Structure 1
Amino acid sequence: MSTVTSLNYQTHNDISEETRESMIELLNQHLADTFDLYTQVKQSHWNVKGMNFMQLHLLFDDLAENFIRYADMIAERATALGGRAEGTARMAANNSRIEELPIELTDGKDFLIAMANRFGEYAALSRIAIDKSENLNDAVTCDLFTEITREVDKSLYFLESHLQSM
């Protein structure tokens, strides 16, 4: 990741500079993953076809809205710690750890499988972020990642429930 680890802004936050720098780097990495996954869910929303089109079209749109909210929460936490949020589409594309969505997908089942794989990967990365922020004694960032992970796990359940009957 190309994150600049130096602090950009002064703050009265009492978390040590070293911890804040680590958290800002972690948050910006997760911001890239989050924004990338948002765009992949929107790609699914726009291009899904098949018998369950409307249901999946609406589901993907709802899930995408969640990721925009997560991105905002992550970016604001990075800036609250005295850092700079690195959240443009190009920054996300250059730094995301989420596998790219195949362009040729159209079938609802294929999109569900692809999204379930990516949501599972994102949830695993979020759990790592929980551990890292907990290990550095940043309870607020830990809580943020816990909230996001709880919601992503629920979304993964929604995606996988569609696949269990197929």
Structure 2
Amino acid sequence: MEQIYVSGLEEKAREKSIELLNARLLDCIDLTLAVKQAHWTIKGSSFIGLHELLDAIAERMRERSDTIAERSIILGGHTGGTAQGVTKGSQLEAYPQDITYQKDHVEALTKRFIAFGKNLRQSFEQADEAGDDDTADLFTEISRGIDKDAWFIGAHYDEAAANTGR
């Protein structure tokens, strides 16, 4: 039986959207793991506030991953969201595993959230050009949340820098 796709998109648009969705899925999973790494290892005077914030952000990131993966599957794609897939395919800079100070985590996370937001906006443009308004809208929605979380994390920078003396 021929596969019927719910979206009704042209084949070329569907294939492009699947490619974009899968690329952003790998970034999203990678960023989620970076947030959890920081959550587990962060130290400093604002520990509990940042620890709890990062846990909440990690949960939002998992929801974003689900949304991205489900859209890819709806369009007839396959996801590669395994650890091996993320290692090979994420376009984000690897997260340092040897940092513990608030200032360092805040800098590293904010930098990666900004990069992921940029990737999302580029994917929005490409999905829009391909004719997939729904996938473009998904990228826009997620980018708003990523920008907000980058702001939440980045807002801790001055305090973290002052408290660590670094």
4+ residue segments displaced more than 2 Å: none
**For 2:21 and 2:133, how far apart are their aligned partners in 1?**
14
Residues 38-57 of structure 1: pairs in structure 2 closer than 5 A: 38-57=32-51
Structure 1 residues 50 and 164 mapped into 2: Cα distance closer, same or farther (>3 Å)? closer
TM-score of the superposed pair, with normalisation by structure 2: 0.91
2:21 matched to 1:27?
A: yes
Q: Any gaps of 5 or more consecutive residues in structure 1? A: 1-8
CA RMSD of aligned residues (A): 1.4
Q: Select which of 34, 56, 77 maps to 1:83.
A: 77
Residue identity matched to 1:67:
M
For 2:100, what is the secondary structure of its paired residue?
coil
Instruction: After superposition, give the CA deviation of every residue in 1:67-94 in whole Å (9 maximum; x if it has no partner).
Output: 1011100000001111112211211111
2:142 matched to 1:148?
A: yes
For 1:144, what is the secondary structure of its paired residue?
helix
Q: CA deviation at 1:12?
A: 4.4
The match for 1:74 is 68
The match for 1:139 is 133
Q: Any gaps of 5 or more consecutive residues in structure 2? A: 162-166
Q: Is 1:127–1:145's contact at 8 Å kept on the other side of the alignment?
A: yes
Residue identity matched to 1:24:
I
For 2:155, what is the secondary structure of its paired residue?
helix
Q: Is 1:76–1:85's contact at 8 Å kept on the other side of the alignment?
A: no
2:12 matched to 1:15?
A: no
**For 2:74 and 2:46, how far apart are their aligned partners in 1?**
42
Q: CA deviation at 1:164?
A: 3.9
Residues 84-123 of structure 1: pairs in structure 2 closer than 5 A: 84-123=78-117
TM-score of the superposed pair, with normalisation by structure 1: 0.91
**For 1:163 and 1:99, how far apart are their aligned partners in 2?**
20
Q: CA deviation at 1:10?
A: 3.6
Q: CA deviation at 1:19?
A: 1.0
Identity %: 38
